[in-house]
Structure 1
Amino acid sequence: MAECAESQNRATVVIESDKPLAVGRDEQCDFAIPWDKSISRKHVEVRLVGECLRVRRFAVAANPLFHRGAQVESCELEPGDHFVLGHTTFLFSDARTPRLSTPTQPVEEVAFSRDDLRRIQFLDADRRIEVLTHLPDVIWGARTDEELFVRLTTTLLAGIAGAEAAAVVSIAGDEPPVIEHWERRLEVAGEFRPSTRLIKAAVLEKEQSILHVWESEEHHQADYTITQEFDWAFCTPVRGAATQGWGLYLAGRFDRAANPAGQLDTSEQQLRGDVKFAELMAEIISAVRQVNRLERQQAGLRQFFAPRILSSLGDGFDTKSLDPRECDVTVLFCDLRGFSKQAEGARDELIHLLDRVSQALGVMTHHISEHGGVIGDYQGDAAMGFWGWPVATDSAALDACRAALGIRAAFAATAGKKDHALADFQMGIGIAHGRAVAGKIGTTNHVKVTVFGPVVNLASRLEGMTKQLRVPILLDEALVERIQDELTPEEGRIRKLARVLPYGMQTPVTVSELLPSEAAFPELTAAHLESYEHAVTNFLAGDWEQSYRALHDIPPSDRAQDFLNVLIAQHNRQAPGDWDGIVKLPSK
């Protein structure tokens, strides 16, 4: 059987003894695997020799053959073993197809409740516990269900010494049972014919372990559970969503020397212990498979949802918690600077540029997620994150500022490294706080988890204004009010820049810059910020001469002062007669 881990495609072929089969992507091959482009058109030849499968790589094959983690030119497989080509695993399983039987009424049928099993004592507890200890590793190590079934039947025979045959079975609805895999302790002992009646009763009808005991050997009929050689069989359901319809099936004989009558007398405790062991195995299988299933689901969703969203979904992945609702949110927009210019100069290296942009977006995503935010959208070279949904926290606004400072620090650290992927990239960040609708937003056929409302547009406009005000991070006044008493000087600092009316908007906004701590950004000291505050206060009051003088106490390297200096110089240091403290921005 071939199974592709990436595409989930499967295919099966029956191999006749000593007849070579060509395996490859070409449809003309005896076993064609068209879905995996990493497989060569004609990749390997397989041949069944006795009980083994011999695999040989064709010289024309461009890609390697892997067996047991090593690259090989040829290999030999026993039933249950596998080899790998590209992204596809090829499992070699015994081609014997077991038949099902529909036996007559058993002499005795015993159904085991949970309470019954709790009271059963093991005669050989140490050996059984040793086998169960390794069971999780057996399950985790299986790459496919087929490989898992092989491992489980082997483990069953190891843990239940009295069983002569073991199988993993499955059944769904009115369909006949399927024998997923079976093993006999002695390969020469004949075919395996599990009881359809027993499987249905245990897995579908009663959903509990059921034991069937038949008459002694001389009274057997030809169509009993396996052949005429078994005295007992039991089936244990493996409960759980990840193992729905599975069962563990065991069969064996009584010890005739110890039990001449062939009844459940001296062997009763041992056999009941076998049922309890199978129940413990079933519980472990179900639990590990469920964890494995949840981990796969989370791994698949992790690239689409932030950890906070995954946490709100819970183990059941109930998407009702993602339904849109109105709430207070803090929205952060982060955009790359210099991307358009570099795109113009890199028309022949767009893949390389895309990789660099992806790494830049990765920096933004990391810090947004690291501080509990949700990624709401990507727009080319920009990312949008938000806080306050699905879980509202008192630290949401402050966490958004921490994320912004982290992004700024990451870009600043790579700015001077010419060979770094983020070199020559700068960024602008706008953060706003307000009321919005957050959750699953979109159409009937397509939705995404994002946020909607005026605060989103404001955060985007603030990000755009970072170019005009010549600062990396801008905050609106609602956000400043929430964090100014919580943001410690060791984390960051805030300075008011101006009161502006953004282009196309009717409501003015007092904008402030978010700065790193003085230790992280010593270019601007506490004294510098005090002078800047005097400059802004005088600017808003209309005393532009005093504002101009205060600005000259700021280091020339600080670009924020340029915004006010240019306006003041254009008006010869005199505020207009109708000055209301609001700067009207001429463009976005």
Structure 2
Amino acid sequence: MIADREYRLGRSSEIELPVPWEPAISRVHCLLRTRDREIEVEVAANSTNAVFHRGEPVRSIRMAGGESFVIGRTRFILAHADTDDSSGADHPVEEVVVTRQQLQNVRYEDPDRRIDVLAKLSEVFDSVHGEMERDGRLVSLILTGVRSAEAAAIIALDDDGTMRLRSWERRRETAGAFRPSRRLVNDALNRRQTTLHLWDPSTINQETQVDYTVSAEFDWAFCTPVRGGRGRRWGVYVAGQSPVNTGTTGRSALQADIKFIELLAELLGSVERQNRMEGDLSVLRQFLSPPILTALERAGDRESLAADLEPRECDVTVLFCDLRGFSQRSEESSGDLPGLLNRVSGALEIMTQSILQHGGVTGDFLGDASLGFWGWPFSSEEAPLNACRAALAIRRAFRKARETPHHPLNDFEMGIGIAHGRAVAGKIGTSDRVTVTVFGPVVNLAARLETMTKQLRVPILLDEATAHLARTRLSHDEGRTRRLGTVQPYGMETTLQVSELLPPVAEFPELTNEHITRYEQGVDAFTAGRWAEAYRCLHGMPDADQAQDFLTLRIAQHNRTPPPGWNGIIQLPNK
């Protein structure tokens, strides 16, 4: 506990000092205020069970070091964790940096007991409600596993180098304060290697004994770092007394203890890395598809996860899907906006689930529109094809809704634009909010293609790069493409050759493959300026196909004769 701070003590896991194991303690039972080397305890007004100090019930007390109070069956002792090591006696007689290679051939004298201790770790992680309770349980296990230890602690170095005792325990409760060696902790945690200090108690005179860093009853101590990632420096500190300076037997026993703590620290680090990675992935589950999550989980550590999610430039395929006529529908449903919101949520659910089911990443909702992309965090040659599959799945779901009487989405229509190219994609955000996004010209192009679906009267539009890949690699049993022409969107200097993505014949028999061939012949004739021929090709399309209207109307308006200076490019009048 830090001086001049206020701490809440109770059963709640959301306060500073949680004590979930004591049934007599209220959710917030009392307030503790630190004052220099004293502490004030004030019982909360709504606490029913008394706080006992020196056998008497009290509502408020002021305690010094060594005093205690009791709630229920739990005793709370005020003990100073003194980390001041200004004394010159902190210099060890011997310092040993222990490597894992040195410990490979070390054998345990009592492996069964140590295995029992390790087996209890899962119980600690499963049952505790916070870091403080976990650390308290860990130091007790450490003393059980290291019989020669007189004291154990979970210790950390803050960013400014301040040493902080997160939890500690003495084997003998009456032994007094625990004062770990700051020098040892700094050496071990900064080197990121187990470091052993050996002292000779006989060299400590009466003047230095009071300030001796680990106290005269300890003649050895070691600190093992926990490699949990994220730059945190913390570890396990163990101190005790044994005849390690007088022979090889004691030194071998201590090496076995160090090997055991090394194993314990490795397990702690693995759990911490896994928990942090799970925390990151839990935030990202709403954006990432199951295959991507599985691949990220296989990365195995938080550092590689962070690298995989880091924003970077890559080839991506972007899908932009928007609901048509949403503004008009909002006006018509002004008396039932919650109902409209539920319907829109259902439509967005169709979009996002189709994206995720086909291996994509979902970005933020943009009003009544959804954004998905492929090619990040892992590149894939299947990215454009999976985007096409997702788009066809969305079209299929909306068509099924329209054909189902009284379906909440039976009057909804959508437009989809898909584009492929370079972009920057990755995880962005603050400590309070994290999201994934993609940005670049290809994103704007996908959005423009979606807008153009209204003008070209088709549900799904592809840019030239995506259409080429779909035409050559997408199975006809999955989908088909149809060239619609070359256009120059309003406000853009570049021209685009756009194509429609269509379902397979089995799913959309109204438009046969022969129809598509005949239509593309009409497009070629239109581009070349042979508009009478183009009109005959396009006019043979089935009535259900509205795409023909885009070209036939222009041909009819010009009396089947291209305007002077015709270059085969259709100028779109607006967005």
TM-score when normalising by structure 1: 0.69
How far residue 336 of structure 1 moved from its aligned partner, in angstroms, is 1.3
- Is residue 2:275 matched to residue 1:292? yes
Where do 1:80-229 residues align within 5 Å? 96-99=79-82, 104=89, 109=94, 111-114=96-99, 115-135=101-121, 138-139=124-125, 142-172=128-158, 177-185=163-171, 187=173, 189-196=174-181, 199-200=184-185, 203=188, 207-212=193-198, 215=201
The corresponding residue for 2:47 is 45
The corresponding residue for 2:324 is 337
Of 483, 488, 494 in structure 1, the residue corresponding to residue 470 of structure 2 is 483
Of 237, 240, 252 in structure 1, the residue corresponding to residue 225 of structure 2 is 237
Distance 1:94 1:152, change over 3 A: farther
SS in 2 for 1:45: coil
Aligned partners of 1:544, 1:482: CA distance in 2, in Å? 29
Structure 1 segments unaligned to the other structure (5+ residues): 33-41, 52-75, 80-91
Letter in 1 for 2:180: S
Of 428, 450, 454 in structure 1, the residue corresponding to residue 438 of structure 2 is 450
Distance 1:142 1:362, change over 3 A: farther
Native 8 Å contact 1:198 1:234 kept in 2: no
Distance 1:252 1:390, change over 3 A: closer
Identity %, equivalent residues: 42
Letter in 1 for 2:124: V
Deviation per CA, 1:367-412: give whole Å up to 9, x if none.
4455555656653222344556676654443333233223323333
Letter in 2 for 1:283: E
How far residue 564 of structure 1 moved from its aligned partner, in angstroms, is 4.4
Q: For structure 1, which segment, 116-125 or 101-110, has the greater mean C-alpha deviation from structure 2 after superposition? A: 101-110
Q: For structure 1, which segment, 382-391 or 486-495, has the greater mean C-alpha deviation from structure 2 after superposition? A: 382-391
Of 317, 339, 358 in structure 1, the residue corresponding to residue 306 of structure 2 is 317
Aligned partners of 2:112, 2:378: CA distance in 1, in Å? 48
How far residue 236 of structure 1 moved from its aligned partner, in angstroms, is 3.0
Aligned partners of 2:469, 2:108: CA distance in 1, in Å? 64
Letter in 1 for 2:47: E
Native 8 Å contact 1:338 1:424 kept in 2: no
Letter in 2 for 1:399: N
Letter in 2 for 1:196: S
- Is residue 2:513 matched to residue 1:526? yes
How far residue 191 of structure 1 moved from its aligned partner, in angstroms, is 3.2
SS in 2 for 1:485: helix
Distance 1:314 1:205, change over 3 A: closer
Of 264, 274, 285 in structure 2, the residue corresponding to residue 281 of structure 1 is 264
The corresponding residue for 1:57 is none
Where do 1:433-512 residues align within 5 Å? 433=420, 438=424, 449-453=437-441, 455-505=442-492, 509-512=496-499
Distance 1:223 1:502, change over 3 A: closer
Native 8 Å contact 1:204 1:245 kept in 2: yes
Aligned partners of 1:421, 1:147: CA distance in 2, in Å? 50
Native 8 Å contact 1:199 1:247 kept in 2: no
Letter in 1 for 2:154: V
Deviation per CA, 1:270-295: give whole Å up to 9, x if none.
33322221122122222322332233
Aligned partners of 1:523, 1:403: CA distance in 2, in Å? 22
Native 8 Å contact 1:492 1:515 kept in 2: yes
Distance 1:419 1:226, change over 3 A: farther
Letter in 1 for 2:455: Q
How far residue 151 of structure 1 moved from its aligned partner, in angstroms, is 2.4
Letter in 1 for 2:153: A
Q: For structure 1, which segment, 134-143 or 299-308, has the greater mean C-alpha deviation from structure 2 after superposition? A: 299-308
Native 8 Å contact 2:146 2:257 kept in 1: yes
Aligned partners of 2:334, 2:31: CA distance in 1, in Å? 45
Deviation per CA, 1:135-167: give whole Å up to 9, x if none.
356346544221220221132123223435432
Aligned partners of 2:161, 2:221: CA distance in 1, in Å? 21
Aligned partners of 1:233, 1:179: CA distance in 2, in Å? 15
Letter in 1 for 2:135: F
Aligned partners of 1:532, 1:197: CA distance in 2, in Å? 81
Q: For structure 1, which segment, 516-525 or 196-205, has the greater mean C-alpha deviation from structure 2 after superposition? A: 196-205
Aligned partners of 2:274, 2:284: CA distance in 1, in Å? 15
The corresponding residue for 1:381 is 368
SS in 2 for 1:235: strand
Aligned partners of 1:550, 1:106: CA distance in 2, in Å? 95
Deviation per CA, 1:402-454: give whole Å up to 9, x if none.
332233233334445577665533210122345x5535899xxx99853333x
Native 8 Å contact 1:165 1:252 kept in 2: yes
How far residue 331 of structure 1 moved from its aligned partner, in angstroms, is 3.9
Native 8 Å contact 2:196 2:220 kept in 1: no
Of 230, 237, 250 in structure 2, the residue corresponding to residue 249 of structure 1 is 237
Distance 1:112 1:335, change over 3 A: same
